[in-house]
């Protein structure tokens, strides 16, 4: 489904009937998924469920996994592992960035400590010959 430019995908705007229709499911299925901990829609002040584009993406992923033969416990575990992979990749990217920053900082420090060639020590006394 195409999403309008600038619309916040995390914003919960769909009531359960619309979310179910967009996901191609029955509203009762969404309630079951929520009870099983597969979905956590936002709630209004009046306690009505509201679904976001992210929730719809998750419903489609659940549908894919159940279509491949996983039961709901298996689906829940796969979703947890996928979220962990996303989290770990973000941590890895941050660690790589921190490492690059530390290397660049160290290299800049080395450049300050280097002595330019024009200030290098020269041997005094001119020509030295070895007696042979």
Within-domain flag for 39: yes
**pTM more than 0.85:** no
**Chain segment 32-46, per-residue pLDDT in tens:** 999 999 999 999 999
Range(s) of the domain holding residue 43: 16-113
Q: Based on the number of CB atoms within 10 Å of its own CB, is 30 exposed (0-12), middle (13-18) or buried (19 or more)?
A: buried
Phi, psi values for residue 75, rounded to 5°:
-60, -45
Q: Is residue 94 part of a domain?
A: yes
Q: What is the CATH number of the domain that holds 85?
A: 1.10.1660.10
End-to-end CA, the chain: 90
Of 32, 72, 74, 64, the C-alpha closest to 49 is 32
The verdict on residue 53 lying in a domain is yes
The pLDDT tens digits for 44-87 are 999 999 999 999 999 999 999 999 999 999 999 999 999 999 99
Structurally, the chain folds into a number of domains equal to 1
| Residue 78 counted as domain residue | yes
């Amino acid at each position: 489904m195409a999403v309008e430019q600038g619309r916040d995908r995390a914003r919960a705007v769909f009531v359960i009937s619309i979310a179910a229709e967009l996901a191609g499911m029955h509203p009762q299925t969404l309630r079951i998924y929520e009870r099983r901990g597969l979905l956590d829609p936002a709630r209004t002040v009046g306690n009505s469920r509201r679904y976001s584009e992210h929730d719809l993406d998750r419903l489609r992923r659940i549908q894919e996994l159940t279509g491949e033969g996983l039961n709901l416990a298996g689906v829940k575990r796969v979703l947890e592992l996928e979220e962990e992979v996303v989290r770990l990749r973000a941590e890895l990217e941050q660690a790589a960035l921190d490492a690059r920053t530390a290397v660049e900082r160290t290299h800049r420090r080395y450049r300050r400590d280097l002595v330019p060639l024009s200030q290098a020590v020269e041997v005094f006394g001119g020509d030295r010959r070895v007696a042979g």
